[in-house]
Chain A
Amino acid sequence: MEANLPVELQNRRTFPGKYVMIGFICLLLAAGPLFISTYYVNLLFMVGIYAIISVGMNIIIGYSGIVSIGHAGLMAVGAYTAAFFNTHFGTPFWITALIGIAVSLVIGSILAIPTIRAGGVYLSMITIAFGVIIDEILIRWTAFSGGPLGISGIEKPAVGSYQFGLTQVYYLVLIVAAAAMALVCNLRNSVWGRSMLAVKQNVIAAESLGVKPFNYQYAGFAISAVFAGLAGAIYAHANSFISPDIFGFQTSIQLVLIVILGGAGTVWGPVLGSFIVVILPEVLQFDHLRLAVYGLLMFLVLYFLPKGIAGTLADYMEKKKAPAESPADRHSIPLEQLLRAHDAAASSGTLLSLRNVNKQFGGLHVIKDLSFDVPASKVLSLIGPNGAGKSTVINMISGFYTPTSGEIFLNGQKIDGGSPQDMLQKGIARTFQHTRLFSDLTVLENVMAGMSRSHKQNLFSALFRTAGMRKQEKQIAAMAHAYLDLVGYKGPRHVKAGNLPYGHQRIVEIARALATKPSLLLLDEPAAGLTAGEIVELELVIRRLKEAGLTIILIEHHMDFVSRISDKVTVIDYGRKIAEGTADEVKDDPNVIKAYLGEEEMPNAENF
C-alpha cells in the first residue's frame, strides 16, 4: 500500500513503525517451520507458490487491466518443462527452473500478442481458450507429459548431495516471493509502472503522451509468464508429482480471485489473497456447498469490494491521512529546460497548415474542405457553434483521426495520417474536452507520465532499480513539480488525481501536456469549469508559453477570454470555415453572428 506512493515519498515514510512491523512478520515467517508442523509449513508453501504467480498476475490485472483466466496454463508449462527435463535427463532443479522460465516466457509472449490485440472480453476468452488447449495437450501428448496420470518421481531440489526437505523448499519459495514483490514494487515506481497504469486508466490520453500501449502490456504479460513458469517449476520439484488436473480452469479462476480479493494493483494484495484462498478450504471442512461458498465469496468481493481488501484499506488510509507535501522536493528549474528549444527563425512564419481537409464518418460529412494556417509562436483560437467540428479538427491534428482527404503540414512536412504517438514525436501535444487524467495516479505522477517518451528506461533497470534509474526518477519528479508550478497549480500533489476538483484537473492536464515538451499545444476548452480567477491565471500561463516560443491552438467558448488571448481566430460552422481574422474582426462578421444566433435575431456584439 505504501509502496504505491512515488519515490520521494517512500523515503520519508514514518519510521520505525512500518519497518518494525515488516521485520516482525519476516522473522515470524522465517522462524515458523521450527515451531509448526509440516502441515502448516506445507500450507505456507502453497501460499508462497500462489503468491509468486499472483504477484505477476497483479501486474497485468492491476496495472494493465488484462484479466487473464488462463495463467494456470503458463504455470503448467513451467512445471511440465522442469519435470520433463528432470525425469528424462536428470537435470537438477536449478537448471530445469531456468529452462522452465524460458519456455513459459516464449509461450507467454506468443500468447500475449493475440490477447492484447483483442482486448476486453475477447481477451479473457482467448486466455480461457489457451488454458483449455494446454490442458488438452497435456492430456494427449503422453510422450512429453505422461498423459492424464502425469509425471511422478520428480527429484527434490538439491545442493550438492544435500536434498531439500519441505522446510528448505518453503524458504526457497519465501525468498522468491519476496524478491518478486520487490521487483514489482520497483516496476510500479518507474516509467513502466506509470505507463502501464496510464494505459489501463485512459488509453487515449496515454497515446496522446506518446505511449505505445502494446509494448507495456506485452512486457507485463511476459513478466507474469516468467513468474508463473517459475512457480510451476518449483511446485513440480517440491511435490514430486504433477498432473494436468492441477493446472485446470479452476486453478486459473482461483488465481484471478486471489488478485481481486487481495486487491488488484496493491503490493500486499496477492499475498493476502493467496493466504485466504489456500487456508479457506482447510478451515471450511463442511461436506457440502464448499464450492458455492467460493463462488459467493468471489461474487461478494466483486460487488462490494471491487478494490479488494488491501485496495480498500489503502484508499481508506489515504483519505484519513493525506501524505505530507514537502516543498523541499522542488528545485527551481529554468523555463528553457522545461520547454522545447526553438530557434528564432522558426518562430516566424507558419507552423501548421491545413489544406482542403475533409473528414467523413460513413455518410456523415463532418469537416468540409477546411484550410487554415497557424502562425508560429502565436495563439490561434478555433471557435464555432456546438457540433461545428472543432474537436474533430483537433483530433486530426493530434493523430487520433485521419483526414478522409486533404493534407496537414507541420513546418512544411506532411503529417496527416500519423498516429498519436507519431504526432507527439513531432512535437504536438494536447488536452481533451473531457479531462482525461489518470485517476489512480497521483497529480505528480500524471505529470511525470508526460515524460515517459523522453525519459526512457529499460525494463531491467526499472525492475532492479539501478542507480542510474533512481537518478532519472528524481529528475523526472523535479521537472514534474516545475511544470505544475509553471501552470500555477497550487493544490496537493500527492493525492490521486481522480479526487481533485474539476478545475484543478484541467490545469494539471495542461501541465502534463507541457511535460512532453511540445512545439504545438492543442487545448480543447481549457477554460471550461474554471473560476474567473483561474481563467486569469490561465491567461498568464498561455502568454508566458507563447513568449517562450510555444504555438498554441485553443478551442473555446468563453468569448472574452478568446478576445483577450488570441492573435488569430478561425471560425467554423458545420465543418466549414466561415470567418478568420483577429477577434474584433470576427466578432462583427455577419456570417459568424448568423451561425451563433440564427438569422432572425438582431446582433448585439456584447452578448457573445
Chain B
Amino acid sequence: MKLKRPYRYILIVILLTGLAGLITGIYFYNLRDKDLLKEKPDFLISAEELQKEFESDENASNIKFVNKIIEVTGVISSLEKGENNSMNIALSTANSMSSVICTITAETDASGLVSGQTVTLRGECSGFLMDVLLNNCVLIRK
C-alpha cells in the first residue's frame, strides 16, 4: 500500500507519538523509589527535636514533615532486624518510650553500627505512631 506523502508523515507522527506514550508509560510503571543519597533533604533536624515536634502537635507535624525528606541526627538506641532483610535503627529522644525509627534500604550497609553511636540518616517521613517513622533511609554519616 502506497500512501501520499503528507499522509505518510501523519502516520509516522502518530506512530511515534504512540511509541513515546508507551515508553513513558512503561517508564513510570517501572519507576523505583527515589535514591535518597541523590536527593536534597527538606529538613535537617535532630532526633530529639523531630520527636518533640510530633509529640507536641501531631497534626501540624504531619502536614510539615510527612512525605518530606528528613536528615536526622541522633544516638542509636537499638538496631532491630526485620522481615526481608530489613533493619530498623531507632534514635533516642528525650522521651524514653518514643524514638525516631528509621527503616534503612536493603542497599544500605549498617554493619559496624552499634547502640550508643551518633549517626545521621536521611529518610522519607511516614508519620507518627508511638515513634516518628522514617522510610527508605540511607546512611549519611557515622
Q: Indicate, yes or no, whether A interacts with B.
A: no
Chain B residues close to A by CB (< 8 Å): none
Chain A residues close to B by CB (< 8 Å): none
